[in-house]
Amino acid sequence: MTLRRPDRSAKRGVEGPLLTSAKTGPSASLGTTGTPLSLGIDIGGTFTDLVIHDPRDGRAVIWKESTTPDDPARGAIEGTRRVLAKAGAKPEQVGRVVHATTLFTNALIERKGARTGLLTTAGFRDVLEIGRERKYELYDLFIEMPKPLVPRPWRREAVERLAADGSVEKPIDVDAALREVAELVEQGVESLAICFLHAYANPAHEQAIGAAIAERYQNLSISLSSDVAPEIREYLRASTTVANAYIRPLAEVYLERLEQALRAEGIPGGLFLMLSNGGLTHVSEAKRVPVQLLESGPAAGALAGAWFGRNARLERVLAFDMGGTTAKLALVDDGEPLVAYGFEAAREKRFLRGSGLPMQIATVELIEIGAGGGSIAHRSDLGTLNVGPESSGAQPGPACYGRGGTNATVTDADLALGYLNADFFLGGAMKIDRAATAEALGTLAADLEVEPSRAAFGVHDVVNENMAGAARVAIAERGRVPSEYALLATGGAGPVHAWHVARKLGVKRVVCPPGAGAGSTIGMLMAPARVDRVASFTAALSGADMQEAERIFAALEKESLDVLRLTGADVEARTIRRLADMRYIGQGSEITVAMPSPLGEAGIRVEFEKAYKALFARTPPGASIQFVALRLSVTAPMPGTGGKLELPRHASADAEKGMRPVFFPDQNKTVQTRVWDRYALQPGVKIDGPAVFEEDESTFIVGPGATARLLADGSILAEANQ
């Protein structure tokens, strides 16, 4: 059931451009053969990354534009103009636009969503505050739990009741519910979440009241829990549905404005959105359930790690994406990132599980492992050095940007240590203020009572240790050891920090792909269309009705294919994964298990026990197994994804740009280090560390005692010799 609100954004245009953050260089025109081009736009906290890709031959052009926080679409459109100009392409040549944004996540964090109401079963209006009755810090007497997105006066009750099996215990009183909604509308509520008890088992009551409300209040945005998160557990389902309602009006207006702006630029291609699950969807589905987009940007970074890892023939990869605001890590096993079916948004304490708003959506399994380039360093109350979580963002940015920032950031520290070239920041397009960096680090050093050089390395090392520590935990939870993995770095700051993070982890191989500074955007352009669906199925494995399970899977597949066809994906080449949430009877949590084909009790038991042992090493003797829910994941290749990436090169025997002093902690001193023009390197070339590899969007640091070589796809593989 789809309930939409009318377009309110038709008269709202896109404002003028901001100053560019990348240089225009000579580039062969793309799309000259008539092949539709693909445009990727990833709006981050500091920069908006854009990539134009020609799927015929793989040629691509990258642009970085400063993000415009007041109106993110403005920076995206200005960047689109500039990347097209750099590529020598015309707007009408763009066949599709793929987009990811942090806008909706930020709306949750900053509490800047719509005025939202909740209609729920009588007796359950306080479920958002009761939550799971757990403290994320047991001994904190002043603990602050996440504040509900809906204040109590806007949480109303409906007379209705369903049993756990979906049978009706008390019919819904539609007229009484409409009176409650009328009061909410009078008080200014713009969006409504409807979450009735056990609606996952029977959506009839939600659908009935939803249709009645939509008919009477056509400007009210409506989200039904049976559409958004049809799963057990009232708090998780309510939290997810409320979050969807909270950001849905924002998503509708923003995406409509962006579509209009792209059409005004003369771009005929459709707009597709990156989902948290690592796939793409069409814009109407994104407007319907925008909660699925909360982790879209980081998911794209994991996809890039998986894609480049496969090209480098690496089976296990730690996809490390560090941008201007945050850093994320994803484990990639056998060429695919791990997918989870829930995460937390808007945490009160950034790294503490349980301190955020739980979301029941499919998402690439990501670990937030540290700060970004713009994270601010400061002296703590205990006199120690802290880095983040506060960020300087795009405005004013790090002190070295010369835009009024006065605090020392990670980027300032990297510049002072010699990792970055002030004369070649973003390819030389962005002028760097060395004096501002020196002043900011001097102030920090005075607060810490150390030398400025020590303060600079302290900032760099604290960030690296935080990231390495989180990575160790994530890898150990999967029963792995770090040495089994290669670290693949993307993001503007990822290649700068990757080598030192790898050394802390004991990882010997580090990969820096071409265009690493825009890695997430490249990952989006290579992503398939994807749909994840779930349905309740509560039954003991022994004696379960497998025919009923087959009917549920068939219905989920039909629904998924209807969505996929609207993306233009090649549904004939689709891949379908049947999964089930299962547990031992009496347990309070489930694991997700791949289902055998055909469905059979013996085969399912084998798959469940194998998955259970992989996580917990043993199975309880004599315990009975049960189903909780059935899941379906369908992916299909998108037209124009292409099979390769070719960035501009000018291979030359003279690729060395010069020397500069760079600090390496292994030797605890500054070393005169060769600097290489990455675009001039020839495939197969080997270079001994220490070395610095520069390209427009990022810089790759390789330490002493390493050998780096350029792979056929343009990636640099650095391996420690000891």
Q: Which of 210-214, 407-411, 708-712 has the highest mean pLDDT?
A: 210-214
Compute the average pLDDT of residues 568-584.
Answer: 95
Report whether pLDDT(34) > 80. Answer: no
In this prediction, residue 394 carries a pLDDT of 64
Mean pLDDT of the chain: 88
In angstroms, the CA 359 to CA 439 distance is 43
**Dihedral sign from CA coordinates of 144, 145, 146, 148:** negative
Cα(98)–Cα(37) distance, integer angstroms: 11
| Arithmetic mean of pLDDT, 658-676 | 90
Q: How many CA atoms lie within 13 A of 66 on its CB side?
A: 19
pLDDT bracket for residue 14 (50, 70, 90) = very low
For residues 81-100, one letter each, b for 16 or more C-beta atoms within 10 angstroms of the residue's C-beta and e for the rest, the string is: bbbbebbebebebbbbbbbb
State yes or no: pLDDT of 389 exceeds 80.
Answer: no
pLDDT tens readout for residues 414-448: 999 999 888 887 777 778 888 889 999 999 999 98
The residue ranges of DSSP E strands in 566-664, in sequence order, are 575-584, 591-594, 625-636, 656-664
How far is it, in rounded angstroms, from Cα 21 to Cα 79?
Answer: 9
Reported as a single tens digit per residue, the pLDDT across 239-253 is 999 999 999 999 999
For residue 344, which of 328, 325, 364, 360 has the smallest C-alpha distance? Answer: 360
Q: Which sequence spans correspond to the domains of the chain?
A: 113-248, 298-523, 529-636, 656-720
Alpha helices in 157-282 (DSSP H): 174-186, 204-216, 225-228, 234-264
What is the radius of gyration, based on Cα positions, of the chain? 26
442, with CB counted inside 10 A (0-12, 13-18, 19+), is middle
**What is the number of residues in the chain?**
722
| Strands 221-224, 191-195: pairing kind | parallel
Ramachandran assignment for 120, one of left (phi > 0), alpha (psi -120 to 50 degrees), beta (any other): beta
Q: Which CATH architecture has domain 298-523?
A: 2-Layer Sandwich (3.30)
Give residue 642's pLDDT: 61
Q: How far is CA 656 from CA 426, 651, 679, 687, in A?
A: 19, 12, 11, 11
Q: Is the pLDDT of residue 32 over 60?
A: no
Q: Determine the average pLDDT of the residues in 570-597.
A: 94
- Render pLDDT for 690-716 as a digit per residue (tens, 0 to 9): 999 999 888 999 999 999 999 988 899
Q: By the 8 A CB rule, do 578 and 597 touch?
A: yes
What is the pLDDT at residue 21?
34
The tens digit of pLDDT for each residue in 144-162 reads 888 999 999 999 999 999 9
| Strand, helix or coil for residue 407 | coil
Tokens, residue 504: 């802390």
> Encoding tokens for residue 285?
């589905």
Looking at residue 235, the DSSP 8-state letter turns out to be H
CA distance 556 to 580: 13
Helix axes 494-505, 452-477, angle to 10 degrees: 60
127 CB-side CA count, 13 A:
24
pLDDT of 13 over the 80 cut: no
Whether 174 shows a pLDDT value over 60: the answer reads yes
At residue 25, the pLDDT reads 39
pLDDT of residue 387: 85
Residue 395 above 90 pLDDT?
Answer: no
**Is the pLDDT at 9 greater than 70, yes or no?**
no
